[in-house]
């Protein structure tokens, strides 16, 4: 794909359900993206080739999700000089804590922005924030998104005040 702005990579297709959150955000903001399965271990050469050619394809940010040892975001960051956002994927053995620590504890000089476990939506939003620093149209869309979020919370507050706790909880349970 030409003129990719954000690449969304994952170590396994089992991560796709989580990673879809980032893709949905990017699509909702009209940001060009491509999604691939590449492994830091099983397909190192293909991963290296893809990352090394990313800037020429127009990639500005890479979002990488990985579970377990979660090396993919760090390996990508070692080769890609622009922002890399890591998404720790929840694992069966340690509930994603292993993934989180592997991604967030990068050595000095090779940073990876890291969101919470399975927090692909936040990774997508962080990519939008990064890109909006040089794109006024995107900045406006982001501000509108945040304004809508604020309005939704305030509407819920008014509804809670009007209905009271018990009635509000009954509505939530439906």
Q: How far apart, in whole angstroms, are the C-alpha atoms of residue 132 and residue 61?
A: 12
Torsions phi, psi for 12 (to 5 deg): -155, 150
List, for residues 38-64, the tens digit of each pLDDT value: 999 999 999 999 999 999 999 999 999
Find out whether 65 and 127 touch, Cβ atoms under 8 Å. no
Cβ neighbourhood burial of 31 (10 Å; 0-12, 13-18, 19+): buried
The mean pLDDT of 9-25, rounded to a whole number, is: 97
* Helices 72-79 + 44-52 axis angle, to 10: 40
Helices assigned H by DSSP within 29-135: 44-52, 72-79, 97-104, 120-132
Q: What is the pLDDT of residue 92?
A: 85
Label residue 18 by pLDDT band (50, 70, 90). very high
The mean pLDDT of 6-23, rounded to a whole number, is: 97
Find out whether 95 and 101 touch, Cβ atoms under 8 Å. no
The structure's pTM equals: 0.92
Q: Average model confidence (pLDDT) for the chain?
A: 95
Q: Provide DSSP, 11-54.
A: SSGGGHHHHHHHHHHHHHTT--EEEEE--TTTTHHHHHHHHHTT
> Taking the CA atoms of the chain, what radius of gyration do you get in angstroms?
18
Torsions phi, psi for 105 (to 5 deg): -95, 50
Q: State yes or no: pLDDT of 1 exceeds 50.
A: no
Q: What is the pLDDT of residue 2?
A: 54
List, for residues 82-136, the tens digit of each pLDDT value: 999 999 999 888 999 999 999 999 999 999 999 999 999 999 999 999 999 999 9
Label residue 69 by pLDDT band (50, 70, 90). confident
Sign of CA dihedral 5, 8, 9, 13: negative
Q: State yes or no: pLDDT of 22 exceeds 70.
A: yes
């Amino acid at each position: 794909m030409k003129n990719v702005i954000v690449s969304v990579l994952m170590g396994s297709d089992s991560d796709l359900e989580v990673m879809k959150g980032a893709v949905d955000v990017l699509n909702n903001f009209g940001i060009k993206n491509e999604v691939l399965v590449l492994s830091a271990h099983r397909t190192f050469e293909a991963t290296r080739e893809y990352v090394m050619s990313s800037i020429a394809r127009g990639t500005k940010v890479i979002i990488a999700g990985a579970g377990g040892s979660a090396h993919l975001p760090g390996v990508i960051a070692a080769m890609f000089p622009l922002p890399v956002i890591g998404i720790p994927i929840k694992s069966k053995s340690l509930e994603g804590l292993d993934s989180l620590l592997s991604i967030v504890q990068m050595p000095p000089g090779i940073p990876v922005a890291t969101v919470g476990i399975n927090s692909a939506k936040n990774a997508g939003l962080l990519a939008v924030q990064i890109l909006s620093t040089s794109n006024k149209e995107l900045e406006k869309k982001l501000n509108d998104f945040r304004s809508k979020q604020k309005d939704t919370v305030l509407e819920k507050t008014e509804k809670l005040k009007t209905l009271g706790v018990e009635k509000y909880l009954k509505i939530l349970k439906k």
